[in-house]
Structure 1
Amino acid sequence: MANANSIPKPRYLSLDVLRGATVAFMIIVNTPGSWSYVYAPLKHAPWHGFTVTDLVFPTFLFVVGNAMSFGMGKLKEQGNSAFLKKVFSRTLKIFLIGLFLNMFPFVKWVDDVLVMKDFTEIRIWGVLQRIAVCYCIASLLVYYFRSKTILLISAAMLLGYWGVMSWFGDYTLEGNAATKLDNFLMNAKNLYKGYGIPFDPEGVLSTIPAVVNVILGYFAGLFIQKKGNNKSTAFNLIGTGVILLLAASAWNLVFPINKPIWTSSYVLYTVGWDLILLAALILIIEVWHIKKWTYFFEVFGKNPLFIYALSGIFVKLMHTIYIGGENIHKLIFDGFFMNLLNPLNASLGFAISYMLFLWLIGLYMDKKKIYVKV
Structure 2
Amino acid sequence: MATTATASSEGAPADDINKASTRLFSLDALRGFDMFWIMGGEEIFHTLAKTTKSPFWEAIALQFTHPDWNGFHLYDLIFPLFLFMAGVSTPFSVGRELEKGKSRGQLTLRVIKRAAILVLLGIVYNNGLNIMPISQIRFASVLGRIGIAYMFANIIYLYSRERMQMVWFWVFIIGYWLLLKFTSAPGFPHGDLTMQGNFASYMDRLILPGKLYLGIHDPEGLFSTIPTISTGLLGILTGQLLKKTGLAQTRKVAIMAVTGVIFLIIAQIWNLDFPINKNLWTSSFVMQVGGLSLLLMALFYYVIDVLGYKKWAFFFRVIGMNSILIYISGHFIKWQYTTDGFFGWIGQLVGDPYNIVVMAVCFILVKWIFLYYLYQKKTFLRV
Tell me the TM-score normalized by structure 1. Answer: 0.84
Q: Report the equivalent of 1:64.
A: 86
Specify every segment of 5 or more residues in structure 2 that has no aligned partner in the other structure, as ranges: 10-22, 51-57, 185-191
Q: Report the equivalent of 1:12.
A: 24
Range that drifts further, 29-38 or 300-309:
29-38
Aligned counterpart in structure 2 of residue 92 of structure 1, from 109, 116, 124: 116
Alpha-carbon distance in 2 for matches of 1:186, 1:298: 37
The Cα of 1:79 is off from its aligned counterpart by 0.9
* Contact residue 98 and residue 128 of structure 1 kept, 8 A: yes
Alpha-carbon distance in 1 for matches of 2:146, 2:248: 27
Alpha-carbon distance in 2 for matches of 1:248, 1:312: 37
Quote the sequence identity (%). Answer: 30
Instruction: Confirm whether residue 244 of structure 1 aligns to residue 263 of structure 2.
Output: yes
* Contact residue 172 and residue 226 of structure 2 kept, 8 A: yes
Q: CA RMSD in A?
A: 2.9
- How many residues are aligned here? 348
Deviations 1:107-157 (A, max 9, x none): xxxxxxxxx755640110110000110111111111111222221122111
* Contact residue 196 and residue 216 of structure 2 kept, 8 A: no
Alpha-carbon distance in 2 for matches of 1:62, 1:358: 24
Over 3 Å off, 4+ runs: 29-38, 116-120, 311-315, 331-343, 348-353
Letter of the aligned partner of 2:24 in structure 1? Y
Alpha-carbon distance in 2 for matches of 1:218, 1:228: 17
Deviations 1:324-353 (A, max 9, x none): xxxx69x8999996994549x83x655543
* Contact residue 229 and residue 287 of structure 1 kept, 8 A: no
Q: Report the equivalent of 1:299.
A: 318
In 2 relative to 1, CA 209–98 (structure 1 residues): closer, same or farther, beyond 3 Å? Answer: same
Alpha-carbon distance in 1 for matches of 2:166, 2:201: 27
Alpha-carbon distance in 2 for matches of 1:370, 1:267: 34
The Cα of 1:311 is off from its aligned counterpart by 3.5
Alpha-carbon distance in 1 for matches of 2:237, 2:278: 22
Q: Partner of 2:6: helix, strand, or coil?
A: coil
List aligned pairs for 1:212-291, cutoff 5 A: 212-226=230-244, 230-291=249-310
Specify every segment of 5 or more residues in structure 1 that has no aligned partner in the other structure, as ranges: 107-115, 319-327
Alpha-carbon distance in 2 for matches of 1:25, 1:203: 23
The Cα of 1:365 is off from its aligned counterpart by 0.4
The Cα of 1:313 is off from its aligned counterpart by 4.3
Range that drifts further, 4-13 or 128-137:
4-13
The Cα of 1:246 is off from its aligned counterpart by 0.4
Alpha-carbon distance in 1 for matches of 2:344, 2:183: 47
Q: Partner of 1:293: helix, strand, or coil?
A: helix
Deviations 1:6-32 (A, max 9, x none): 213432211111111111112226878
